Amino acid sequence: QSALTQPPSASGSPGQSVTISCTGTSSDVGGYDYVSWYQQHPGKAPKLIIYEVSKRPSGVPDHFSGSKSGNTASLTVSGLQAEDEADYYCSSYVGSSNLVFGGGTKLTVL
Amino acid sequence: QVQLQESGPGLVKPSQTLSLTCTVSGDSIISGGYYWSWIRQRPGKDLEWIGYIYYSGTTYYTPSLESRVSISVDTSRNQFSLRLNSMTAADTAVYYCVKDATGYGELDTWGQGTLVTVST
């Protein structure tokens, strides 16, 4: 069982917005502003798309955005595109130089 | 631009020790103050942070694997390595070497991953 809880699946039509949640506790998501999100296409390594809750690395499209409220972080994908279909994982720093992940969410573009 | 490449055996027998090496190219492993990490992904997709090493040699491990794992760095070869002993079928996974830019989980550069199967 993963430390952080994500819905196993999410879906939306092209052009729509989809939000994926990542729920933890006050010891991880709620306690630190070090939540990251990763996109993973089949057979590929994960790719960082959001770090420190809401920051985007250079080159990541601005239709990816992140936020946090209490013990739940969220990733919003706006203006869904076919290439956004992938698995998405959240992670959180948990103190003492430790990191935990969510179980992943499969995003389907209908 | 930093690139990472894992190398090591694809098959390990139960009870044996896994040894993987990650070669860093495009930058020196001692520059930038980065944390050099190992992460694995078992079949069924969950990601698991194993641990990381700072270029100075300071290491941090996940508690569940701490008794079996060791990460080391060879600055002369620009490499860092993972050793995981007493391997079981539950350790079958794709192992990634990853650069953590801050030590707080900003995993901005990943190797392609290497599948390690534990089997007789």
For position A2, what pLDDT does the model report? Answer: 67
* Residue A58 burial class via C-beta count within 10 angstroms: exposed 0-12, middle 13-18, buried 19 and up: exposed
Q: What tens digit of pLDDT does each residue of B64-118 get? A: 999 999 999 999 999 999 999 999 999 999 999 999 999 999 999 999 999 999 9
* Residue A70 Ramachandran class (φ > 0 left, ψ -120 to 50 alpha, else beta): left
CA distance B11 to chain A (A): 19
Residue A48 pLDDT more than 90?
A: yes
Pairing of strands B107-110, B69-74: unpaired
Contact with chain B for residue A95, Cβ under 8 A? no
How far CA B86 is from CA of A47, A108, B8, B73, B95, in Å, comes to: 31, 39, 17, 21, 16
For position B45, what pLDDT does the model report? Answer: 72
Can you tell me the mean pLDDT for A45-71? 97
Q: Which of A57, A93, A104 has the CB atom closest to B104's CB atom?
A: A93
Q: What SS3 class is residue A34?
A: coil
B21: which strand partners? B7, B81
Inter-chain contact B45–A104, Cβ cutoff 8 Å? yes
For residue B111, give the amino acid letter: G
Mean pLDDT (chain B, rounded): 95
**Element housing B111 (H / E):** none
Can you tell me the mean pLDDT for A77-93? 97
